[in-house]
């Protein structure tokens, strides 16, 4: 079995482990998450030339900052895989679960900014961010060498079926929603025509509360499944499924809070193209809006990748060979990445 397919199942719960440096190394993804806002600030400084013109060198430096910020969720995903092994201690399991949470740095940082604004708290976003991550790291460090206490080993097959069935329902909206955003490449007017048509359905009195309930249902059932699977020794395909699902839980809560609570209910802002693309400054040249770039890009990538992971599992359960299913999954991930790039290009101003 390849290293990609299955991480080492050996236990690390031996006498040598648990030195201070062993523990600190397992917090590396949280350090990356703490650096996340500063990587975005680095990008913003690089693209903000005082005379308005940006040299090639600045473009390269800006690209490096953005790549570093975009790498944070991927570091979290890779760390979650590395920390997945059999018989974890309480500390190991906490460190693994925190690695999964670091994948969510982009939506959590958006949520932090929007929530502080909604609550009229004038704290610096970065200070709150660091404080919360330090608190989470402390919680992990306080985990013991003893095996974790499993509070319930009840079967989760019912949750899995419910999560899968509701996924099919929300897929209708998500397919339209992403297609609508791809149309942004043709310009705001084309995007608006499609959105107006879609709103007649998904914003109708009957459908909108139902859609939001289904989204929240996916968050709750998804977190339940993540909690269970994250304690098991699983292969890399499952780590991706757990990681993308964790991201989506944070993304959906953040996105619904931004669109329905903050924009529509509190600030009475029209949630059209201008709102999504951060007009008039745009997503790239505004110090706050830049956080939306990784947030949206991974939102699109992970929602489609999560779907590909679910389909892979269903296909294998129905007799498709693992080799064919894995190839289809990898193709699905490549397509998800391309769709994310297409949508982000449109939101950042590219037109075809
Ligand atoms: C580039 C990525 C995305 C952008 C720019 C974006 C933007 C938007 C905008 C502008 C709205 C308001 C729609 C309206 O007023 O009619 C909205 C609503 C919404 N979005 Fe997204 N979205 C993105 C990805 C996603 C994804 C991946 C999901 C699902 C996982 C999602 C779920 C929703 C939901 C549930 C609503 C609320 C619909 C409603 O009841 O009005 N979005 N989004």
At 14, the pLDDT band (50, 70, 90 cuts) reads low
Cα separation values, 130 from 76, 98, 112, 139, 268, Å: 17, 14, 11, 14, 31
For residue 5, the model assigns a pLDDT of: 54
* Ligand 1 atom 15: residue of nearest CA: 271
Query: 80, 96 in Cβ contact below 8 A?
Result: yes
Q: Cα separation of 127 and 199, whole Å?
A: 38
Pocket perturbation via mutation, ligand 1, pick of 255, 269, 344 by most ligand atoms within 8 A of CB: 255
For residue 9, the model assigns a pLDDT of: 44
| pLDDT, mean of residues 189-193 | 98
For residue 1, the model assigns a pLDDT of: 41
The two three-digit tokens of residue 255, written as one number: 């996105």
pLDDT surpassing 60 at residue 15: no
Residues with CB under 6 A from ligand 1: 174, 177, 181, 195, 199, 202-203, 208, 211-212, 215, 248, 252, 255, 259, 271, 275-276, 296, 299-300, 303, 343, 347
Mean pLDDT, the chain, integer: 94
Backbone dihedral angles phi then psi of residue 267, each to the nearest 5 degrees: -95, 0
For residue 10, the model assigns a pLDDT of: 45
Q: Cα separation of 47 and 224, whole Å?
A: 41
At 94, the pLDDT band (50, 70, 90 cuts) reads very high
At 154, the pLDDT band (50, 70, 90 cuts) reads confident
For residue 261, the model assigns a pLDDT of: 98
The two three-digit tokens of residue 149, written as one number: 């206490």
pLDDT surpassing 70 at residue 7: no
């Amino acid at each position: 079995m390849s290293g990609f397919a299955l991480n080492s199942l050996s236990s690390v719960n031996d006498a040598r482990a648990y030195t201070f440096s062993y523990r600190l190394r397992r917090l590396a993804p949280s350090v990356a998450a703490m650096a996340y806002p500063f990587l975005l600030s680095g990008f913003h400084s690089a693209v903000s030339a005082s005379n308005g013109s940006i040299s090639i060198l600045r473009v390269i430096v800006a690209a490096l900052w953005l790549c570093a910020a975009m790498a944070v969720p991927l570091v979290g995903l890779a760390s979650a895989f590395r920390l997945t092994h059999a018989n974890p201690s309480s500390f190991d399991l906490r460190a693994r679960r925190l690695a999964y949470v670091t994948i969510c740095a982009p939506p959590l940082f958006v949520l932090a900014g929007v929530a502080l604004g909604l609550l009229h708290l004038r704290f610096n976003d970065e200070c709150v961010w660091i404080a919360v991550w330090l608190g989470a790291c402390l919680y992990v460090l306080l985990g013991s060498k003893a095996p974790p206490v499993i509070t319930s080993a009840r079967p989760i097959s019912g949750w899995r079926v419910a999560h899968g069935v509701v996924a099919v329902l929300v897929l209708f909206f998500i397919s339209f929603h992403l297609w609508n955003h791809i149309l942004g490449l043709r310009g705001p007017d084309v995007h608006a025509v499609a959105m107006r048509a879609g709103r007649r359905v998904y914003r109708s009195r009957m459908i909108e509360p139902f859609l939001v309930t289904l989204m929240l249902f996916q968050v709750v059932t998804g977190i339940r499944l993540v909690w269970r699977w994250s304690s098991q020794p699983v292969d890399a395909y499952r780590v991706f499924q757990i990681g993308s699902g964790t991201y989506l839980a944070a993304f959906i809560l953040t996105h619904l809070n931004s669109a329905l609570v903050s924009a529509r209910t509190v600030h009475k802002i029209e949630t059209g193209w201008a709102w999504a693309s951060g007009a008039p400054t745009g997503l790239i040249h505004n110090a706050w809006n830049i956080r939306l770039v990784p947030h949206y890009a991974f939102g699109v990538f992970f929602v489609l990748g999560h779907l590909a992971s679910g389909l892979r599992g269903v296909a294998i359960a129905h007799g498709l060979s693992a080799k064919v299913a894995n190839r289809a999954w990898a193709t699905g991930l490549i397509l998800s990445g391309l769709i994310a790039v297409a949508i982000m290009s449109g939101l950042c101003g590219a037109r075809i």
